[in-house]
Structure 1
Amino acid sequence: FWATQVKSKLQELHGSGFKIVVFTNQLGVSKGKVKLVDMQSKLDAVQAALDVPLVAMVFTADDRYRKPLVGSWKLLESAYNSDVPVSKAGSFFCGDAAGRAPPAVKKKDFSAADLRFALNVGIDFQTPEEMFLAQPQRYERAKFDFDPRGLGASPKPFPLPASEG
């Protein structure tokens, strides 16, 4: 694993009642770069090595289920959580795509999709370094060019154009 603490931390979370869900964008499958059977084998091997039950949600198309969109979260809530409401306040998302760049990290993150997914869903976010190594990370938590969560929050109405007359 990426760090020796991964297995014990996930077992600890599972033992505390957390459901471990993997949300993964795998566009390479639909483009023929990765075989779905290989992806399944890899996930099966990871689950066996962790000795923790996983729900793996693998998204192979560029559609509403792809992170950072929230379709995958809604699908989890509606179809893959045994009719148990998901507590957003008690949930968090761990991902390596946080939009970090040097000097905060050695190598620039390939995207900010994981951070944006957590922000869009409305749950806490942690990088793997934060979750497994307890190493604080520097990244911008509200990383949007446009943040729709602020719509309607302004007490001022949109300015109306001056009437021509």
Structure 2
Amino acid sequence: MTALALVLRPAEFAADRVVGIDGHTLARRQIPARGVWQSCRDLLLDVAGDDEITAVGIAAAGRMRMRAGVVAPAEILEWRAGFGIVAAVQRMFPVAAVQLAPPSMCAALAARGIGASASGDVLTGTGLLALLVEDYAIRRSSAREHGLKPSGQRPSGPRYPAACIRPR
């Protein structure tokens, strides 16, 4: 089970596996003028390697429709009218739980989950977002397997210790 964190910044993409201190795979790629999704997809595939991806957290600055999974950053011309990044990532990793959030929310998750050392670290917070959404998906599927109706409530916290996220 591998989770990924993807941050869309005005001039670059940054992606990383959500792992401990030993597994540093941070990768960055400048946003091209054309073929933006292809560049982002290649970055995610490079970081994922041969592992099965079970969750992806995405932080994106600029305009977005979180429920629809659509981003429309002003800096990326191809995506100004809106790009369904959640659906595109879901097609790449069909079993993955994918969640989109603003960078401020991800930074707050990092500060809350790790502490002051990670305060403002959007990539770490995006990793926590991926773990939360993965945990939520596991709980829902487990409830269905046992014939229970999923409660529909988000879990109060991750099953994973915050130490699995690399502090910066």
Q: Is the TM value for this pair above 0.5?
A: no
In the superposition, the TM-score normalised over structure 1's length comes to 0.34
Q: Could you say which structure has the greater relative contact order, defined with CA pairs below 8 angstroms and 6 or more residues apart?
A: 2
Task: Looking at secondary structure, tell me which structure has more strand per residue.
Answer: 2
Task: Looking at secondary structure, tell me which structure has more helix per residue.
Answer: 2
